[in-house]
Structure 1
Amino acid sequence: MNWHEEQCLPILDFSRDKLMPGTSHWITTRDNVRKAMEEQGWFVAEFDGVTSDLRDSLFTGMKEMYDLPYEIKIKNENHKVSHGYMSMVVDDYRIHESLGIDYATELQACKDFSKLLWPQGNDPFSQSTHVYATALAEIEQKVMRMLYESYGMDEKKHSASHSESTRYLLRMLSYRRQRNGEANTGFVSHTDKSFMSILHQNHVGGLHLKTMTDQWVGFKPSPTRFVVLSGMGLTAWSNDRIKACYHKVVMSADEVRYSLGFFSFHKGTIRTPEELVDDQHPLRYNPFDHDGLLRFYESYLNSLKKSSEDLLQVYCGVDP
């Protein structure tokens, strides 16, 4: 495992031509994925599946999207929490905006999203968001395959059922510092409610990740580096072996930070596989509906005004 010297980042080589199941590179990477996920809930994948042309086309499309009038962007509605249009305003200045494409690995969903914002359609944007989402789904599915293998599970059976039961949300996000020049710290430390999250961005820094020693490290952006984080879904699935990763955005740069968040969610019930329950690891979570967790999170925050640290335990934890 290549630990980035200044940052203590575990960087794993996910190059397409090297990552063939059964090879020594696959086995080493697989073991390092499990180690990084169990120790701190995240790692960085060096991945060549997103070309510079695709990246340029995406960021160009995102800039055009943010330039659209507010009343057009808010058409991106979704009843699921953090799935549709969101913004954050400080002193009449918009410091954050984000829009989401649910089921982004399906071309029709990307076309529908584009048509919503550009009535005449926007074929280049539909194509680039779809191709991008498909490439990132490849990373997510490889990580899951490695975890199945590493835990001694029937990889073929589980991989097939995982891809059938997973939907992918692509969120496009923009961040800027406050108008008075102060750093934007509105994006507090949090864990994701997804199964897994993959973060990618332009050259403007701002993402901070928590290490196994509870240190915060800044992620130094690179076009071919993707941060793979565990969400609450993976915590429940792994029976607490893998904890959800804490991360935050602190914006102090003058430039706008554009980033892409790719999130996997189960379409139905998340349950801990029997292979991950034993005397040392008694069952921690009851099976639960993933969308139900999102609805509960929304009402939990609104009613209790609490952070979501113990959300999973409250929602579906097994009584000790």
Structure 2
Amino acid sequence: MGSHEEQCLPILDFSREKLVPGTTHWITIRDSVRRAMEEQGWFVAEFNGVSPDLREDLLSGMKDMYELPYEVKIKNENHKASHGYMSMVVDDYRIHESLGIDYATDPQACKDFSKLLWPQGNDPLSQTTHRYAAAVAELDQTGMRMLYESYGMDEKKHSASHSESTRYLLRMLSYRRQRNGEANTGFVSHTDKSFMSILHQNHVLGLQLKTMTDQWVGFNPSPTRFVVLSGMGLTAWSNDRIKPCYHRVVMSADEVRYSLGFFSFHKGTIRTPEELVDDQHPLRYYPFEHDGLLRFYESYVNSMKKSSEDLLQLYCGVKSTPLLGDHSLPP
């Protein structure tokens, strides 16, 4: 597999002032979102909801955070898979670190996070992370509204339900090239267990995305470009119309790459809407608890010592043996 040029990226204009429901621009972007998601599971949003100052303040705060001692950063604990502090060390050299704020759209969660790392708290960081999370949540909810409309569903009913049942995880990540000069390929090809994922970053290259023809596209970042990826939750919700997006990070630069991952999770049970089940699209997945999928993923990886491309099918696929203890079955 080679690497395509950036013109292969579907870049969609999500400028706030242009996205007026019912307008020609809205309908065009709405249909492009569905097409991109169904064809390859991702698109790039040109989004001006995060100001340059907010982005720079957050990146600056991340740099200060990563200068804290390791013993302080590991206080960021969370029992959910990939929600708390994580790191990767090669030859005694830390090439990847990440910390997470669960329920990041809640200002108190951001304050609690800062108090974990700084006994006196860190008001600038807590305010910046909350403002950032609130802005990117708007992008997530707009994308879902467009999918509801495009599938001919009751947008008002489903959008309200989605907003109420969604929690957001903000992960702040740093990547370094390996000490011996080799590329950092620690984040190999994988899909996310989220509902949707939104990625944003500084100027350093590294993110690659898989196309529908199994080729890799290198993402050229800019302050206003956000990569929107489908996760396993969206795959189950869409009844397999939308596949989870494969992506990876290949870090070859000598600079530190700072990245922001914004992940949506369902707080309760994910069910395929009845509007998306018909003779051509029979039900593919039983209803399941999203946090249950995370627990299953962690136990599967620990027991099998590997990840699985069929994780969702193994956990709740209609053709598999359902895991009765972790998710509810239809009557």
Q: Do these two structures clear the TM 0.5 threshold for a shared fold by scoring above it? A: yes
* CA distance in 1 between partners of 2:176 and 2:5 (Å): 28
Q: What secondary structure does 1:116 align onto?
A: helix
* CA distance in 2 between partners of 1:221 and 1:165 (Å): 31
Q: Which residue of 1 aligns with 2:323?
A: none
* CA distance in 2 between partners of 1:6 and 1:100 (Å): 30
Aligned length: 317
Q: What secondary structure does 2:101 align onto?
A: strand
Q: Which residue of 2 aligns with 1:162?
A: 162
- 2:177 paired with 1:177: yes
Render the CA deviation track for 1:144-203: whole Å, top value 9, x for unaligned. Answer: 000000001000000000000000000000000100111111111000000000000000
Q: Which residue of 2 aligns with 1:78?
A: 78
* CA distance in 2 between partners of 1:115 and 1:299 (Å): 31
Q: Which residue of 1 aligns with 2:111?
A: 111
Equivalences for residues 88-237 of structure 1 within 5 A = 88-237=88-237
Q: Which residue of 2 aligns with 1:289?
A: 289
Letter in 2 for 1:42: W
RMSD, matched Cα = 1.0
* CA distance in 1 between partners of 2:83 and 2:7 (Å): 31
Letter in 2 for 1:46: E
Q: What secondary structure does 2:309 align onto?
A: coil
Q: What secondary structure does 1:319 align onto?
A: coil
- 2:262 paired with 1:262: yes
| Structure 2 spans left out of the alignment, 5+ residues | 321-331
State the Cα distance separating 1:7 from its structure 2 match.
Answer: 3.7
Letter in 2 for 1:86: M
State the Cα distance separating 1:256 from its structure 2 match.
Answer: 0.2
Q: Which residue of 2 aligns with 1:32?
A: 32
| Structure 1 spans left out of the alignment, 5+ residues | none
Question: Does the CA contact (< 8 Å) of 2:5 and 2:217 recur in 1?
Answer: no
Percent identical across equivalent pairs? 87
Q: Which residue of 2 aligns with 1:58?
A: 58
Question: Does the CA contact (< 8 Å) of 2:237 and 2:271 recur in 1?
Answer: yes
Question: Does the CA contact (< 8 Å) of 1:165 and 1:267 recur in 2?
Answer: yes
Q: What secondary structure does 2:10 align onto?
A: strand
Q: What secondary structure does 1:280 align onto?
A: coil
Question: Does the CA contact (< 8 Å) of 1:197 and 1:262 recur in 2?
Answer: yes
Letter in 2 for 1:106: D
- 2:75 paired with 1:46: no
Render the CA deviation track for 1:56-104: whole Å, top value 9, x for unaligned. Answer: 1001100000000111100000000000000000000000000000000
Question: Does the CA contact (< 8 Å) of 2:6 and 2:220 recur in 1?
Answer: no
Q: Which residue of 2 aligns with 1:307?
A: 307
Q: 1:288 to 1:94 in 2, by over 3 A?
A: same
TM-score of the two chains, using structure 2 as the length reference: 0.95
Letter in 2 for 1:165: S
Q: What secondary structure does 2:76 align onto?
A: coil
Q: Which residue of 1 aligns with 2:238?
A: 238
Question: Does the CA contact (< 8 Å) of 2:6 and 2:218 recur in 1?
Answer: no
Query: Runs of at least 4 residues of structure 1 off by over 6 A?
Result: none
* CA distance in 1 between partners of 2:7 and 2:211 (Å): 10
* CA distance in 1 between partners of 2:121 and 2:265 (Å): 27
Q: Which residue of 2 aligns with 1:271?
A: 271
State the Cα distance separating 1:47 from its structure 2 match.
Answer: 0.3
Letter in 2 for 1:112: D
Q: Which has the higher strand share?
A: 1
State the Cα distance separating 1:229 from its structure 2 match.
Answer: 0.1
* CA distance in 2 between partners of 1:240 and 1:140 (Å): 20
